[in-house]
Structure 1
Amino acid sequence: MSTFLRVAFAISGFALAALIVAAAIEAPIGKSFARITEDLWGWVTLFDLYLGFLILSVIIALTERHPLRAAAWILPLFVLGNVWSVVWFVLRIPLIRARLGGL
Protein backbone atom coordinates (compact mmCIF):
# COMPACT_ATOMS: atom_id res chain seq x y z
CA MET A 1 0.00 0.00 0.00
CA SER A 2 2.81 2.41 0.87
CA THR A 3 4.50 1.94 -2.51
CA PHE A 4 1.19 2.37 -4.33
CA LEU A 5 0.51 5.65 -2.51
CA ARG A 6 4.00 6.94 -3.14
CA VAL A 7 3.79 6.15 -6.86
CA ALA A 8 0.26 7.57 -7.15
CA PHE A 9 1.26 10.78 -5.37
CA ALA A 10 4.42 11.10 -7.48
CA ILE A 11 2.46 10.70 -10.72
CA SER A 12 -0.10 13.24 -9.50
CA GLY A 13 2.68 15.66 -8.59
CA PHE A 14 4.26 15.37 -12.03
CA ALA A 15 0.84 15.88 -13.63
CA LEU A 16 0.27 19.00 -11.53
CA ALA A 17 3.73 20.33 -12.41
CA ALA A 18 2.99 19.74 -16.11
CA LEU A 19 -0.30 21.63 -15.80
CA ILE A 20 1.49 24.51 -14.08
CA VAL A 21 4.05 24.69 -16.90
CA ALA A 22 1.29 24.55 -19.54
CA ALA A 23 -0.65 27.32 -17.78
CA ALA A 24 2.50 29.44 -17.44
CA ILE A 25 3.14 29.10 -21.17
CA GLU A 26 -0.44 30.05 -22.02
CA ALA A 27 -0.77 33.13 -19.81
CA PRO A 28 1.24 35.08 -17.25
CA ILE A 29 0.31 34.22 -13.67
CA GLY A 30 -0.30 37.85 -12.69
CA LYS A 31 -2.89 38.36 -15.40
CA SER A 32 -4.63 35.07 -14.63
CA PHE A 33 -4.52 35.71 -10.88
CA ALA A 34 -6.19 39.08 -11.40
CA ARG A 35 -9.08 37.33 -13.17
CA ILE A 36 -9.41 34.77 -10.36
CA THR A 37 -9.69 37.46 -7.69
CA GLU A 38 -12.42 39.31 -9.60
CA ASP A 39 -14.88 36.55 -8.71
CA LEU A 40 -16.02 35.53 -5.22
CA TRP A 41 -15.57 31.86 -6.16
CA GLY A 42 -11.96 32.66 -6.96
CA TRP A 43 -11.52 33.96 -3.42
CA VAL A 44 -13.28 30.88 -2.03
CA THR A 45 -10.91 28.67 -4.02
CA LEU A 46 -7.85 30.55 -2.80
CA PHE A 47 -9.06 30.44 0.81
CA ASP A 48 -9.70 26.71 0.49
CA LEU A 49 -6.23 26.16 -0.99
CA TYR A 50 -4.40 28.11 1.70
CA LEU A 51 -6.49 26.58 4.48
CA GLY A 52 -5.33 23.20 3.17
CA PHE A 53 -1.73 24.43 3.26
CA LEU A 54 -2.22 25.56 6.86
CA ILE A 55 -3.70 22.20 7.89
CA LEU A 56 -0.87 20.34 6.15
CA SER A 57 1.61 22.64 7.90
CA VAL A 58 0.28 21.45 11.25
CA ILE A 59 0.62 17.81 10.14
CA ILE A 60 4.18 18.46 8.97
CA ALA A 61 5.04 20.21 12.25
CA LEU A 62 3.65 17.25 14.21
CA THR A 63 5.47 14.71 12.03
CA GLU A 64 8.92 16.26 11.71
CA ARG A 65 11.01 15.87 14.86
CA HIS A 66 13.26 18.88 14.24
CA PRO A 67 11.71 22.38 14.11
CA LEU A 68 14.14 23.58 11.43
CA ARG A 69 13.32 20.61 9.22
CA ALA A 70 9.62 21.28 9.74
CA ALA A 71 10.12 24.94 8.79
CA ALA A 72 12.09 23.90 5.70
CA TRP A 73 9.07 21.90 4.56
CA ILE A 74 6.36 24.34 5.68
CA LEU A 75 7.63 27.69 4.39
CA PRO A 76 7.98 26.71 0.70
CA LEU A 77 4.52 25.11 0.81
CA PHE A 78 2.80 28.51 0.63
CA VAL A 79 4.72 29.39 -2.56
CA LEU A 80 5.29 26.05 -4.29
CA GLY A 81 1.89 24.64 -3.34
CA ASN A 82 0.84 21.06 -3.67
CA VAL A 83 3.78 20.11 -5.85
CA TRP A 84 5.81 20.59 -2.65
CA SER A 85 3.26 18.75 -0.52
CA VAL A 86 3.51 15.77 -2.88
CA VAL A 87 7.28 15.66 -2.40
CA TRP A 88 6.82 15.66 1.39
CA PHE A 89 4.19 12.91 1.29
CA VAL A 90 6.19 10.72 -1.10
CA LEU A 91 9.14 10.91 1.27
CA ARG A 92 7.17 10.60 4.52
CA ILE A 93 4.44 8.01 3.79
CA PRO A 94 6.48 5.13 5.24
CA LEU A 95 7.15 7.14 8.42
CA ILE A 96 3.51 8.19 8.74
CA ARG A 97 2.32 4.60 8.28
CA ALA A 98 4.79 3.34 10.88
CA ARG A 99 3.69 5.96 13.40
CA LEU A 100 0.04 5.10 12.79
CA GLY A 101 0.68 1.46 13.51
CA GLY A 102 1.23 0.28 9.93
CA LEU A 103 -2.15 1.29 8.51
Structure 2
Amino acid sequence: MNYSGTGNEKATPASDLNRTHVGQTVSFEPDEFTLVFGKIAAIARKEGSVNIALQGVEGSGGLQSSYSLPGSQDVYLQPDMLTNTESTIKDLFGKVQENLRGGHKGDDRTDKL
Protein backbone atom coordinates (compact mmCIF):
# COMPACT_ATOMS: atom_id res chain seq x y z
CA MET A 1 0.00 0.00 0.00
CA ASN A 2 2.77 2.48 0.89
CA TYR A 3 0.58 4.74 3.02
CA SER A 4 2.32 7.97 3.93
CA GLY A 5 -0.36 9.78 5.89
CA THR A 6 -2.42 12.76 4.87
CA GLY A 7 -1.34 16.39 4.79
CA ASN A 8 -2.21 17.09 8.40
CA GLU A 9 -0.81 13.90 9.95
CA LYS A 10 2.62 13.84 11.55
CA ALA A 11 4.92 10.88 10.85
CA THR A 12 6.39 9.52 14.08
CA PRO A 13 8.55 6.41 14.55
CA ALA A 14 6.68 3.83 16.64
CA SER A 15 9.60 3.84 19.11
CA ASP A 16 8.87 7.52 19.90
CA LEU A 17 5.32 6.82 21.08
CA ASN A 18 4.77 7.36 24.80
CA ARG A 19 1.95 7.89 27.30
CA THR A 20 1.19 11.37 25.91
CA HIS A 21 0.01 9.70 22.70
CA VAL A 22 -2.64 7.56 24.41
CA GLY A 23 -6.06 8.75 23.21
CA GLN A 24 -4.72 10.28 19.99
CA THR A 25 -5.87 9.13 16.57
CA VAL A 26 -3.28 7.12 14.69
CA SER A 27 -2.95 5.44 11.30
CA PHE A 28 -0.36 2.90 10.18
CA GLU A 29 0.27 -0.16 8.01
CA PRO A 30 0.91 -3.24 10.14
CA ASP A 31 1.55 -5.23 6.94
CA GLU A 32 1.50 -4.61 3.20
CA PHE A 33 -2.21 -5.47 2.87
CA THR A 34 -3.71 -3.62 5.85
CA LEU A 35 -4.23 0.03 6.73
CA VAL A 36 -5.33 0.77 10.31
CA PHE A 37 -7.03 3.91 11.67
CA GLY A 38 -7.96 4.20 15.33
CA LYS A 39 -7.44 5.75 18.75
CA ILE A 40 -4.56 4.54 20.86
CA ALA A 41 -5.75 2.82 24.04
CA ALA A 42 -2.34 1.62 25.24
CA ILE A 43 1.29 1.44 24.17
CA ALA A 44 3.68 -1.30 25.28
CA ARG A 45 7.34 -1.60 24.39
CA LYS A 46 9.14 -4.87 23.89
CA GLU A 47 12.70 -5.33 22.81
CA GLY A 48 12.77 -4.27 19.17
CA SER A 49 9.02 -3.66 18.85
CA VAL A 50 6.15 -1.50 20.03
CA ASN A 51 2.67 -2.86 20.70
CA ILE A 52 -0.26 -0.54 20.07
CA ALA A 53 -3.72 -1.38 21.43
CA LEU A 54 -6.70 0.42 19.92
CA GLN A 55 -9.84 1.70 21.68
CA GLY A 56 -13.27 0.33 20.83
CA VAL A 57 -12.16 -2.57 18.64
CA GLU A 58 -13.16 -5.47 20.87
CA GLY A 59 -15.96 -7.49 19.31
CA SER A 60 -16.09 -5.51 16.09
CA GLY A 61 -16.27 -8.16 13.45
CA GLY A 62 -12.88 -9.81 13.58
CA LEU A 63 -10.72 -6.69 13.71
CA GLN A 64 -7.51 -6.89 15.68
CA SER A 65 -7.35 -4.75 18.79
CA SER A 66 -3.56 -4.69 19.07
CA TYR A 67 -0.62 -4.60 16.69
CA SER A 68 3.10 -5.20 17.08
CA LEU A 69 5.23 -2.83 15.02
CA PRO A 70 8.99 -2.50 14.59
CA GLY A 71 10.26 0.56 16.48
CA SER A 72 11.53 2.14 13.27
CA GLN A 73 8.15 2.00 11.51
CA ASP A 74 6.38 5.33 11.05
CA VAL A 75 2.91 5.78 12.43
CA TYR A 76 0.87 8.85 11.52
CA LEU A 77 -0.66 10.93 14.29
CA GLN A 78 -3.50 13.39 13.89
CA PRO A 79 -2.58 16.82 15.21
CA ASP A 80 -3.55 17.36 18.82
CA MET A 81 -6.03 20.23 18.47
CA LEU A 82 -5.76 21.35 22.10
CA THR A 83 -1.97 21.63 21.93
CA ASN A 84 -2.13 23.40 18.56
CA THR A 85 -4.70 25.88 19.86
CA GLU A 86 -2.70 26.52 23.04
CA SER A 87 0.45 27.11 21.00
CA THR A 88 -1.36 29.53 18.66
CA ILE A 89 -2.77 31.50 21.61
CA LYS A 90 0.68 31.71 23.25
CA ASP A 91 2.23 32.95 19.97
CA LEU A 92 -0.46 35.62 19.54
CA PHE A 93 -0.18 36.70 23.18
CA GLY A 94 3.59 37.01 22.77
CA LYS A 95 3.14 39.24 19.69
CA VAL A 96 0.64 41.44 21.54
CA GLN A 97 3.06 41.78 24.48
CA GLU A 98 5.89 42.69 22.12
CA ASN A 99 3.75 45.35 20.43
CA LEU A 100 2.66 46.81 23.78
CA ARG A 101 6.29 47.03 24.92
CA GLY A 102 7.26 48.95 21.81
CA GLY A 103 8.64 46.05 19.89
CA HIS A 104 9.09 48.22 16.79
CA LYS A 105 12.74 49.14 17.25
CA GLY A 106 13.92 52.12 15.30
CA ASP A 107 10.40 53.45 14.97
CA ASP A 108 10.55 56.41 17.36
CA ARG A 109 7.20 58.17 17.27
CA THR A 110 7.96 60.87 19.82
CA ASP A 111 7.75 64.47 18.70
CA LYS A 112 11.09 66.24 18.50
CA LEU A 113 11.74 69.96 18.54
Whether the TM-score (by the shorter chain) exceeds 0.5 is no
Of Structure 1 and Structure 2, the greater helix share is in 1
Higher relative contact order structure (alpha carbons within 8 Å, sequence separation ≥ 6): 1
- TM-score, with length taken from structure 2: 0.25
- TM-score, with length taken from structure 1: 0.26
Greater C-alpha radius of gyration? 2
